Amino acid sequence: MWSFGCIIQDLRKKGFKETIYLTNKRVSSMLRQVLPICLMFSLLKAGPVSWDNPGQSPSFKKTPETLKTEVEAELIRAKLDLASAQRHWQQMEHISEIQKLEAEEKLRKAKVEGALINQDLENAELSLKVAIANAQANVASAQLNQKREEFEAETKLALAQAAITFEKIARIGEIADLQKKWNQIAINKQISYPLDPVVDGVLRISNRRISFNGVVNDELAKDVCERIAFYNALDSQAPIFIVIDRSPGGSVMSGYQILQAMEASRAPVYVVVKGYAASMAAIITTLANRSYVYPQTIVLHHQASTSLSGNNTQLAQQLKWTKVWCDRIFIKVADKVGLSLDEFVSRMYAATVTGDWKVLGDEAVKLKWVTHVVERMTEEGASTMPTPPAIENASLKVATSRQELPPLNPFDVWWIYDPTTEFILR
């Protein structure tokens, strides 16, 4: 049986045009099926004329013309319905065509937009490649500039080093010439060795000088003692100068060897302190027959220090031995300055709570720690040009704050003071 639902299914399955064709065929078939049914329905509706019921109006049989007319009317209505259905499907066809065109337009726009997006992507990719290429070019240029600058710097450094080398060679030549002239002058110059080296307030230090710097230890004591003996062998009358630039003191035994060499020397031994003498170096200065300092020279006296280990008995014995050993030297210092040993120690701690009694040169003369203070000193015995420090190392020297002291000999103690240096005992 044909129905409107069948038409909708055909629209979905076969398409609009084919469905219209099938619909026309089905409508014609429907008319062929419907007309006989309509005719039979009309006959049944008319029915035979009945006179059984008096109140019922009589039914008349329809004539063939009436039936024909009704059939034609039904046919006309069916044709009208068909025409209406055809118009509806034509409208549907137009709507479908419009929707198709709209869909095609949307598809075209989508393709255009896709093409534009692809073009934008290509442009962005191209821009990115260009940016990367520019960045790589900039990096290459920067590396090239850096290499050029490094090459220029190396060239300048090489030229500077060559200039320094040339200057050093030239200076060495000049120094050699000056050394020759100086040696000639020194040979021709007559050096005098007066017993009183201070002339017109100026201390004149001859070439009979011994450098005394740093910590007092076995090496320094050996060098000083050997030079005292050497100068005595050359001349037992001319003074010998022990020149202390800076010494914090050191070993008591090593200092005692120097004191013994000074005492045994036939030639007078004078001690000159230019900068700083402390502890054992100060004792050597005070016990010298003559000592000379600047007004701003620093001289420091204090008690000896030591490190002990052992049980109580051993510690007591070691401490007793250290006291006897140090007192035998320090009592000479107390006698030289006109004090008893106890008075000297007491005044140390009255000056400072640590007992490190330091004074300047002019006050040291008043306390009898030294014998003379002078404003000027000259080195009369210089006969060779001092060796200049290496140029490359001159600016690299760094003062150390730690210094390891060598092991002491048996029964020896340290008589040393330097607050700027941490001495490490082994």
Tell me the per-residue pLDDT of 23-42, one tens digit each, with 9 for 90 and over: 555 555 665 666 666 666 55
Evaluate if residue 69 carries a pLDDT over 80. Answer: yes
Evaluate if residue 4 carries a pLDDT over 50. Answer: no
Q: What is the pLDDT of residue 51?
A: 44
pLDDT in tens, 352-409: 999 999 999 999 999 999 999 999 999 987 656 556 555 444 444 445 577 777 776 6
The mean-pLDDT minimum among 92-96, 327-331, 416-420 falls in: 416-420
Higher pLDDT, 58 or 79: 79
Q: Which residues neighbour 294 within 8 Å (Cβ) at sequence distance 6 or greater?
A: 273, 274, 361, 373, 374, 375, 377
Q: Report the distance separating Cα 282 and Cα 286, nearest Å.
A: 6
The helices-and-strands tally (H runs, E runs) of the chain is 9, 15
Evaluate if residue 124 carries a pLDDT over 60. Answer: yes
Evaluate if residue 165 carries a pLDDT over 90. Answer: no
Candidates 88, 174, 137, 95; CA nearest to 385 is 174
The mean-pLDDT minimum among 115-124, 262-271, 333-342 falls in: 115-124
Candidates 262, 188, 276; CA nearest to 224 is 262
Higher pLDDT, 72 or 315: 72
Higher pLDDT, 314 or 365: 365
Evaluate if residue 2 carries a pLDDT over 50. Answer: no
| Reduced DSSP (H G I as helix, E B as strand, rest coil) percent helix, strand, coil of the chain, to 5 | 60, 15, 25
Amino acid at 265: S
Candidates 226, 272, 246, 211; CA nearest to 421 is 246
Q: Give the model's confidence band at 168: pLDDT under 50 very low, under 70 low, under 90 confident, else very high.
A: confident
Average pLDDT over residues 2-17: 50
Higher pLDDT, 78 or 372: 372
Rounded to two decimals, the pTM is 0.53
Average pLDDT over residues 202-221: 94
Q: What is the pLDDT of residue 394?
A: 42
Q: Which residues neighbour 68 within 8 Å (Cβ) at sequence distance 6 or greater?
A: none
- Rounded to 5 degrees, φ, ψ at 357 are -95, 110
Of 192-196, 297-301, 315-319, 414-418, the range with the highest mean pLDDT is 297-301
Question: Contacts from 12-19 at CB under 8 Å and sequence distance 24+?
Answer: 16/89, 16/92, 16/93, 16/96, 17/93, 19/89
Q: What is the pLDDT of residue 249?
A: 93
Q: List beta partners, residue 42.
A: none
Question: Do residues 243 and 205 lie in contact, with contact meaning Cβ atoms separated by under 8 Å?
Answer: yes
Average pLDDT of the chain is 80
Q: What is the pLDDT of residue 292?
A: 98
Q: Report the distance separating Cα 413 and Cα 307, nearest Å.
A: 8
DSSP label at 392?
T
Evaluate if residue 150 carries a pLDDT over 80. Answer: yes
Work out the percent of the chain whose per-residue pLDDT is above 70. Answer: 73
Q: Give the model's confidence band at 263: pLDDT under 50 very low, under 70 low, under 90 confident, else very high.
A: very high
Q: Give the model's confidence band at 414: pLDDT under 50 very low, under 70 low, under 90 confident, else very high.
A: low
Q: Which residues neighbour 352 within 8 Å (Cβ) at sequence distance 6 or greater?
A: 358
Q: Give the model's confidence band at 340: pLDDT under 50 very low, under 70 low, under 90 confident, else very high.
A: very high
Average pLDDT over residues 94-111: 87
